[in-house]
Amino acid sequence: MKIRINEKNRERISIAQRLGQPDRVPIDLSMGDQFNYFHGWLKLDGRRYFLDPAYMMDAQVKFINRFNVEGALGPKFGVAIEPSFFGAKVIVPKDTSPWVEANLDTVNKLELFLRLYKEPDPYTAGHFPVLSQCYFFYKQQLGSLVKPPMGLIGPFDTAASLLGSTNIFLWIKDHPDLIHDLLEKITAFFIKHLGVRYELFEPSDRSLHLSDDLCGFLSKEDFIEFEFPYLKKIYDAYCDEESIRQFHCDGPLSHIVDLIPEISINSLISFDPTIDIAMLKKKVGDRVCLKGNIHPIDFIRFSNPQSIRKEVQRLMNAAKKNGGYIMCTGGELADGTPDENIEALISATKEYGTY
């Protein structure tokens, strides 16, 4: 299978992630699995996409060859893998990404789970074998072009999938000890499991990507108590000084932005449409690479090429100075996104992103 990887863009991403200044701002559209976009673009069957590695890879390669930018190359299973480690049932629809049914959605179920908890086998837990088989298929077909899947849904979002998102926000107030116990167990398992991924997938370094969207809706005090220590524990346990320690959050971050570097994060993929990326650049841009923050719905899906170009120019003026910036939607492209809008994003990045 032929694939047109843009190696120069990959090189630019690597430089920017380490707070360097390449010749031009890179673009990365690999955030999210992009299935919702592929579903409309290629009329894909979702069940086949997530259960047939060749079908998944073919769609991703078509996207990369069409637009010649980074675009979600590798095994992608939405938010389903991590909750499955702890018994959540995975649902694979035909027309959207996999999701899970909450299996600890009452206090009694959570208490029983914690009392009887036996740590899963990090080699065989949940749907990890499916992800592993998919990755090794990619590796056989594409070799070093495919990057090892060294990313996890974070402890808070994993817990929210198990409990239900409404419950976790209620129970951090009503049953904080139970939530801490669950987060501690998830965190300890993730650290052990990352060691297994490192052993099996043999990445070239100890870079790591964690995603916790819901933590942005915590107050600063609750973030410090229920998110900060668990993220930091995972990064510190797995990563080293040379690692890209990347974090993604779709939730509001303005009230906690000063805490981001303290978690050992050095690359942030943000998509909160209300956040001022100039503020992020001013507060943490000398310590954290910023990826974002163009709206995948308002601009890429429902806007037009002229408006997209203006938005790209605005973001470049706010965030590209001195490097450490990557153009990114922060979330996956929506079903029905016009090709000409994606092309406008890419061309405007080239025009306004030159240093």
pTM of the model: 0.95
φ, ψ for residue 245, nearest 5 deg: -105, 90
* Secondary-structure breakdown of the chain: helix, strand, coil percentages, each rounded to the nearest 5: 50, 10, 40
21 or 46, greater pLDDT: 21
Q: What is the pLDDT of residue 46?
A: 87
- pLDDT digit string (tens) for 247-264? 999 889 999 999 999 999
Distance between CA atoms of residues 198 and 317, nearest Å: 39
For the cut 90, the answer to whether the pLDDT of residue 34 exceeds it is no
Non-local (6+) Cβ contacts of 204 within 8 A are none
Separation in Å, CA 89 to CA 79, 83, 100, 151, 326: 12, 8, 5, 21, 36
Distance of CA 240 to the CA centre of its chain: 20
Q: What is the pLDDT of residue 81?
A: 96
In a domain, 217, yes or no: yes
In a domain, 99, yes or no: yes
**Backbone angle region of 349, left / alpha / beta, with phi > 0 → left and psi within -120 to 50 → alpha:** alpha
In a domain, 187, yes or no: yes
Domain CATH for 340:
3.20.20.210
In a domain, 231, yes or no: yes
Which domain, by its residues, includes 95?
Answer: 7-352
- pLDDT digit string (tens) for 197-240? 999 999 999 999 999 999 999 999 999 999 999 999 999 999 99
Q: What is the pLDDT of residue 131?
A: 96
Looking at residues 116-140, what average pLDDT do you find? 97
User: Quick one: CA torsion of 171, 176, 179, 185, rounded to 10 degrees?
Assistant: -170
In a domain, 1, yes or no: no
Distance between CA atoms of residues 227 and 218, nearest Å: 9
In a domain, 162, yes or no: yes
Domain count, the chain: 1
Helices (H), 90-175: 107-116, 128-142, 155-163, 165-174
Give the torsion sign (CA, 348, 144, 231, 92). positive
Beta bridge partners of 99: 91
Residue 201: closest CA among 124, 130, 145, 139? 139
- pLDDT digit string (tens) for 76-108? 898 999 999 999 999 988 888 899 999 999 999
- pLDDT digit string (tens) for 275-321? 889 999 999 999 999 998 888 888 999 999 999 999 999 999 999 99
Is residue 150 classed as helix, strand or coil in its secondary structure?
Answer: coil
Contact 188, 224 (CB under 8 A): no
For the cut 90, the answer to whether the pLDDT of residue 149 exceeds it is yes
Separation in Å, CA 344 to CA 39, 97, 170, 306: 21, 26, 43, 8
Looking at residues 106-119, what average pLDDT do you find? 98
Contact 334, 37 (CB under 8 A): yes
Contact 207, 246 (CB under 8 A): yes
For the cut 90, the answer to whether the pLDDT of residue 270 exceeds it is no
Contact 187, 159 (CB under 8 A): no
In a domain, 2, yes or no: no
Distance between CA atoms of residues 264 and 313, nearest Å: 30
For the cut 90, the answer to whether the pLDDT of residue 331 exceeds it is no
- pLDDT digit string (tens) for 276-285? 899 999 999 9
In a domain, 164, yes or no: yes
Q: What is the pLDDT of residue 13?
A: 96
